[in-house]
Amino acid sequence: MGMTMSQKIIAAHAGRDSVKAGEIVMAKLDMVLGNDITAPVAIKEFYKAKTSCVFDCGKIALVMDHFTPNKDIKAAEQCKAVRDFAREKGVVNFFDVGEVGVEHALLPEKGLVGSGDLIIGADSHTCTYGALGAFSTGVGSTDMAYAMATGTAWFKVPTAIKFVLRNKPQKWVSGKDVILHIIGKIGVNGAQYKSMEFTGDGLKNLTIDDRLCMANMAIEAGAKNGIFEYDEITAAYEAEHRSKKPVIYKADEDAEYEKVIEIDLSAIKPTVAFPHLPENTRTIDEVGEVKIDQVVIGSCTNGRLEDLEIAAGILKGRKVHKDCRVLIIPATQKIYLEAMQKGYLEIFINSGCAVSTPTCGPCLGGHMGVLAKGERAVATTNRNFVGRMGHTESEVYLASPAIAAASAIAGKIASPEQI
């Protein structure tokens, strides 16, 4: 029996000709990631083990993106601990305020992750890099500590679901709508500890930003990872961002999948996930009248230049609703600068939006956009659990940048055609 894309990457990094679903293997890592919440815990465990140095100072990335700029003393102390560790151990890829970005947008942009890589990160949305044909997955801080010391991690080889994408999405339908549609179809446990592997002729109609968004949210279906078949679009992105020669793994013809699901992209409508789970989806024509208090456009899911371009196109020449606060958060400094050069930031500010330095802040209810009791937000983020963005009696509705921007103008959940 042949192997899936994910199984081939694991086998190669484990020094094996092949692996089978359910096997437990040790494998070498190409990148180990931590942030200002998870890395401090890993660093404590690293020191407890009395390890003197990291396995490779060029294969560790420490990104201060969650509570930065520091929101309080505790956040400042956490960042200081990571800063001191990075300096002491010579970690090359340390990103702090001024050059930081939301980690899962920053690493691909910097060319630190890519096709054929095996990556772990102490953050659940590390699965983002599967958009580039990598195997990437989230781990706990203890696993991160071990990985920083040894450059290895253990894996239970996952089974897989094959998603065959067909046709072309309608106008205003993006990768966010596609992945919300899929999660609504299979549920938040529908791919539990499985690899979500995306292929099909519809891939040519999904940009890298669409794919990064979709792979990012594989974890919201319970998946171990999400991964896209390498194609010309991947190659063009890597040629621009990475000097390393691509390593391409394609699933065998006889690879075994638990199931194969066909997705007609042309049939998908703009989709919104209602509280309090990403699987609680409704198409825009099923939403009804839902007034909102806040809109957040940003995060590791939808804070890239393409997302800001879509939002700016809708907001241009319009004002946000007087009862709605709107936060725009470019995901990296490079994206911020490009958005400024293209005039997007001027559009946002003239529309009545607040534009922020790159941060994860409001996505996890950390800072810069926390919700009060009874408030509702439309967010381009990836989770809408109880209390995710603030008070336990607030509500988060997940949507694409197009729906978020239109909703900001309407003061209620709306599509661009409805404003």
Report the alpha-carbon angle 103-120-75, nearest 5. 45
Is the predicted pLDDT of residue 363 greater than 90, yes or no?
no
So what's the pLDDT on residue 272? 98
Q: Tell me what the mean pLDDT of segment 213-242 comes to.
A: 97
So what's the pLDDT on residue 252? 95
**Model confidence band, residue 1 (pLDDT cutoffs 50, 70, 90):** confident
**Model confidence band, residue 366 (pLDDT cutoffs 50, 70, 90):** confident
As beta bridge partners, residue 33 has 61, 121
Exposure string for 218-240, b = 16+ CB within 10 A, e = fewer: bbbbbbbbbbbbbeebbeebbee
Written as six digits, the tokens of 70 are: 């520091």
Written as six digits, the tokens of 226 are: 């999400």
As beta bridge partners, residue 281 has 273
In the chain, domain spans: 5-264, 271-414
**Model confidence band, residue 410 (pLDDT cutoffs 50, 70, 90):** very high
Peptide bond into 275 cis (omega under 30): no
- Residue 97 DSSP code: T
| Contact predicate 103/329, CB 8 Å | no
**Topology of domain 5-264, per CATH?**
Aconitase; domain 3 (3.30.499)
| Contact predicate 369/362, CB 8 Å | yes
Distance in angstroms between the alpha carbons of the first and the last residue of the chain: 53
Is the predicted pLDDT of residue 69 greater than 80, yes or no?
yes
CATH superfamily, region 271-414: Aconitase, domain 3 (3.30.499.10)
So what's the pLDDT on residue 52? 85
- The stretches of 141-174 forming alpha helices (DSSP H) are 141-150
Burial of residue 112 (CB within 10 Å: 0-12, 13-18, 19+) is buried
Written as six digits, the tokens of 275 are: 């509280």
Spatial separation of the C-alpha atoms in residues 157 and 154, rounded to whole Å: 9
Is the predicted pLDDT of residue 294 greater than 80, yes or no?
yes
Where do we find the tokens 């601990």? Answer: 81
- What's phi and psi for 156, nearest 5 deg? -90, 120
Strand order in the sheet with 281-283: 281-283, 271-273, 395-398, 376-379, 294-297, 325-328, 354-355
So what's the pLDDT on residue 338? 97
Q: How many helices (H) and strands (E) does the chain have?
A: 13, 18
Spatial separation of the C-alpha atoms in residues 12 and 34, rounded to whole Å: 24
Checking 277-281 for CB contacts under 8 A at 24+ apart, the result is 277/188, 277/384, 277/385, 278/180, 278/183, 278/188, 278/217, 278/220, 278/221, 278/382, 278/383, 278/384, 278/398, 279/183, 279/184, 279/187, 279/188, 279/190, 279/220, 280/184, 281/180, 281/181, 281/183, 281/184
Asked if the domains 5-264 and 271-414 are classified in one and the same CATH topology, the answer is yes
- Residue 217 DSSP code: G
pTM above 0.75, yes or no: yes
- Of all residues in the chain, what percent carry a pLDDT higher than 90? 95
Maximum distance among all alpha carbons in the chain?
Answer: 61
**Model confidence band, residue 260 (pLDDT cutoffs 50, 70, 90):** very high
Nearest CA-CA partner of 213 in 150, 304, 294: 304
Strand intervals (E) in 252-320: 259-264, 271-273, 281-283, 294-297
Is the predicted pLDDT of residue 51 greater than 90, yes or no?
no
Spatial separation of the C-alpha atoms in residues 391 and 381, rounded to whole Å: 17
